[in-house]
Amino acid sequence: MRKGEIEKEVIERVTPTKEYKNKIDKIVDEIKNKLEKEVEKRKIPVAIELVGSIAKDTYLMDNMDIDFFLVFPTDYKKEKIAKNAISIGNKILTKTEESYAEHPYLRGFYKNVNVEIVPCYKIEKASQKLSAVDRTPLHTKYVKENLKEKQKTEVLLFKQFLKGIGCYGAEAQIEGFSGYLCEILVMYYGSFNKLIENAKNWKNGIKLSIKKGKYQSFDTPLTFIDPVDSDRNVSSALSKEKFDLFIRACKDYTKKPSITFFFPNKINPWSIKKIIDTIKKQKCKYIGVKFEKPDIIDENLYPQIRKSARSIYESGNRYGFNIKDVSFHIDESDKYILLVIKTSHEPLPKTFVHIGPPLKIKKNTEEFLNKWKENERVTKKPYEKNGRLYVELKREYTKIEEFLKDEVKNLSMGKHLDPIVDKKYKIIELDNMLTKDLAMFWTEYLDNKKSWER
C-alpha cells in the first residue's frame, strides 16, 4: 500500500462514527445531569466542565475516556473542594479509585466507560493557578479555539501512530506523548506528515514553542513550551527511551510506510524452548529479584519500580558486576513484581585492583595510604605505577546472588517499595523464571524487532 492509502485507511478506522459519537454524547449528557443534581443538592457554587479529547473532538474510536472538572471559586479550601468532588463522584461512578494530583480526585466507571471527576479552581490565566490541574480547562479552551477543523483528523492520525509504536500517553507506565502534546504538535507543524518529516531529524534537547519568546530551559529530551503557561514544559513526561523510539519510528515510516506503524501485528509468546535457545546464544546470566506488589496507583508504582531497577544497576556495577540491563515484570493476578537482571557470566575474580590518586596530589595520596595500609581486604599493599597509586583488594562479593541477597534491602527502592523489600524478597534463578506465565515477558524482552517490524 502507498502512504496515502495507508493513512486513508487509518483515518477510516480511528475516526469515531456518527453512531459512536451519539453514544458518547448521550453518556456525557447523562453524567453531566447527574453531576448538576449532586452539586445542586450540596448548594455549592461549582461550574461543571467537560475537558480532554472528547471536549476537543480529538478522541479515537473505541478509546473512550471522559473527564469532568468541577470548577470551584478560588476562596474554597483545597480540602473542601477535594472532599466534595470525591463525595459527588462516588454517588455517580462505580468501581471508584481515589487518585492524587496535588489534591485528590476520583476515577471510576459509568456504564463501563472510564470517567475521571477532578476538582480545580476557576482561573482566567495560568499565572493565577493554585494547583497544576487548574490550567486543564484552559488547555481545552486553547485547543478548541486554535486547532483547525481539518487538523483534527491529523491529530487522530498522529495519536494512532503513537499508539501503534507504544509512545501514546504521558502516564508513568508509558512515559510518552500526552493528548494535549499531540494537539499542539500538529498545530505547530500543520499536519501529521510535516510533523513526522521534521521529527525524524530531532536531536536530544530540541526546544519548540508556538509563541515566540525567551523561555526557561528544561533538562528533557524534548521541550515544548505550554502556550497557556510559559513556565511549563508540556513534554516533561516524555522519557529519553520513548523520545528515541519515536524518532526511529519517524525515520522508518518515511523510508518504508506500513499499516503496522498504526496497527502492529499481535505478538505471540514464544515457546519456552525458543526462549531458552535465544538466552543461550547471548552467553550471559539472568537472575531475578521478586517481591510483593504494593496496592498503589500506577502513577506511584512505575516510577518506584524504575528507581529500583536503577538502584540495582548502579550498585551492582559499583561492586564490579557487569550489569547490562535491569528490566521488570508486574504480575497483576499474583500481586508481585519481578526485577530481571542481565549480567555477564560469573563468578568474578576474588580480587581486583582499586585505582588510587596521582602521586602529585599529596593530600589524597596520604589519605589513600592511611585508608588501605592496615585494611583486612588488602591482598597486595598500595603500590605505585606510572605516577599513580594502586591497591589490590579482596572482593566483597564474587557472585551476584550473594550481592543481591545482602544488598537489595539496603538500596533506595522508593517510598512504598522500601518497607516491602526490607521485610521480604526472593532471589530467583533463571530456571524458575522460564515459565509459561513469563513467556510474554521474555518474548517482548528478547525479540529485537520494533512493534512495526513484527
| Residue 181, pLDDT above cutoff 90 | yes
**Which one, of 206, 260, 261, 210, lies nearest residue 238 by Cα?**
206
| Residue 76, pLDDT above cutoff 80 | yes
Task: Return the number of other C-beta atoms located less than 10 Å from residue 168's C-beta.
Answer: 23
Cα(205)–Cα(227) distance, rounded to whole angstroms? 19
| Residue 280, pLDDT above cutoff 90 | yes
| Residue 102, pLDDT above cutoff 70 | no
Angle CA(69)–CA(72)–CA(74) in degrees, nearest 5? 135
What angle separates helix 298-318 from helix 400-407, to the nearest 10 degrees? 130
Do the domains spanning 14-145 and 272-347+398-453 agree at the CATH topology level? no
What is the domain partition of the chain in residue ranges?
A: 14-145, 147-261, 272-347+398-453, 351-394
Superfamily of domain 272-347+398-453: Poly(A) polymerase predicted RNA binding domain (3.30.70.590)
| Residue 375, pLDDT above cutoff 80 | yes
Q: Is residue 246 classed as helix, strand or coil in its secondary structure?
A: helix
The pTM for the full model equals: 0.91
Note the CATH architecture for domain 14-145.
2-Layer Sandwich (3.30)
Contact criterion met (CB below 8 Å) for 340 and 429: no
| Residue 378, pLDDT above cutoff 80 | yes
Which backbone phi and psi does 450 adopt, to 5 degrees? Answer: -75, 160
In the CATH hierarchy, which fold is given to the domain comprising 147-261?
Poly(a)-polymerase, middle domain (1.10.1410)
| Residue 31, pLDDT above cutoff 80 | yes
Give the pLDDT confidence score for residue 128 in this predicted structure. 86
What is the CATH number assigned to the segment(s) 351-394?
3.30.70.1550
Give the pLDDT confidence score for residue 64 in this predicted structure. 78
